[in-house]
Structure 1
Amino acid sequence: MATELDHHCPNCEAERAFYRTAAMNVHLGLKTKWSCPDCEYGFIRIAADDDISTATA
């Protein structure tokens, strides 16, 4: 699994390289926490059949 993810940061209002801060398997799939190194905005993504993400919530 990658340790870096390009994603839009709403706090910085720009595309940033987010870094994986944690990952674990849960019953829905692989739960991964991502964090922006510039402002510490973070979101969680669960990789399953249908991706679940708090970034779009």
Structure 2
Amino acid sequence: MTLEAEHECPECGETRTFWKVASMNLHLGEKTKWRCGECDYGFIRVNGISTAQPA
């Protein structure tokens, strides 16, 4: 299980390390919550579909 991932952060304006802060299995698939280590921007991913804002 990966606890960190590189992702574009719209608040910071560049690629940052995001930390997995929660994970659970739903009937739709796995739900994970991610937070930027620099600014605390967060997004949720369910079964590969993300709520992250485009940069």
For normalisation by structure 1, the TM-score amounts to 0.87
Q: Which runs of 4+ in 1 moved over 2 A?
A: none
Higher relative contact order (CA 8 A, sep 6+): 2
The correspondence of residues 29-40 of structure 1 with structure 2, limited to 5 A, is 29-40=29-40
The correspondence of residues 1-57 of structure 1 with structure 2, limited to 5 A, is 1-47=1-47, 51-56=48-53
- How far did 1:56 drift? 4.5
Structure 1 vs Structure 2: percent identity of aligned residues?
54
Unmatched 5+ residue regions in structure 2?
none
Superposed CA RMSD in Å reads 1.3
For normalisation by structure 2, the TM-score amounts to 0.90
